[in-house]
Structure 1
Amino acid sequence: MPSKEQVLRLLSQGRDYEEIAGILGVPAGQAYLIATGIPADGGDTVTRGRPGVLPSRSQRLVNPREINPTGRGDVHRWVRRRAWGDPQMQAAADAGEKR
C-alpha cells in the first residue's frame, strides 16, 4: 500500500493521479484517497486547502468515461446482418421505401 507521503511527493513533482496510479500500482481513485483522505467519488464537503485535493472533477478518477460499443464498425456490421436476416425488419424497410 503506497503511503500518503509517496503520493504527495509524486504530486509535487508535477505528476497527475493517473500517472501516479501507474507508478504505484493502485487505481487513480485510491491514490487520491491516500493523498487527501477524501474519496474521489465524494462531494465537495471538505475544505479545499488540503494538499493533493483537485480543484474539480475528482469523480473521473474512479468513474472514467465509458466507451460506447455501438460506435464500432463490427457492431454496425452485426446489426446490419441481423436486420437483413429478420423478415419483420425487411418488411419495415420495404414499407419505408414505398413512401
Structure 2
Amino acid sequence: MPSAATITRLLGQGLDYVAVARRLGISPGTAYLIRTGVPADGGDTVAGARRELLLSHSQSLVQPNSHNPTEHAEVMTWLRHRALGDPQMQAAAWETR
C-alpha cells in the first residue's frame, strides 16, 4: 500500500488523484483516503488544519465515470449464435417474416 508521502509527492509533481491512483494501481478514492485520512465520499467530518488538504469535490473520486455502450459487437455475435442454436428462436424469426 502506498504511503501518504508518496501520494503527496506525486501530487506535487502535477498529477491529479486519478493519475496518481493509476500509477500506483489503486482507486482514486483510496489515494485520497491514504493522503488525507478522510473518505472521499464525505463520510467523515473534518475540522482545523486538515481542511486545507481536502478537495471540495472529492465525491467524484469515489464513483468513476461509467461506460454503458448501447451495442457491443461481442454481445451481438453471442446473441446470434444463441439464436441460431435455439429452434424456438428460429421458429419465432420465421413467423415474423
What range describes the TM-score normalised by the shorter chain of this pair?
0.5 to 0.7
* Counterpart residue number, 2:55: 53
TM-score by length of 1: 0.65
Q: Could you say what the CA RMSD is over the residues aligned between the two structures, in angstroms?
A: 3.0
Identity of matched residues, %: 39
Gaps of 5+ in 2: none
Preserved CA contact (<8 Å) 1:4 1:35: yes
TM-score by length of 2: 0.66
Size of the aligned set, in residue pairs, is 92
What displacement does 1:59 show? 1.3
Gaps of 5+ in 1: none
* Counterpart residue number, 2:82: 82
Distance 1:13 1:54 in 2: 20
SS class of match (2:66): coil
Q: How does 1:1-99 map to 2 (within 5 A)?
A: 1-23=1-23, 25-27=24-26, 28-40=28-40, 42-43=41-42, 45-47=44-46, 49-53=51-55, 55=57, 56-60=59-63, 65=66, 71-97=71-97
CA change 1:52–1:2 in 2 (3 A) is farther
Preserved CA contact (<8 Å) 1:4 1:34: yes
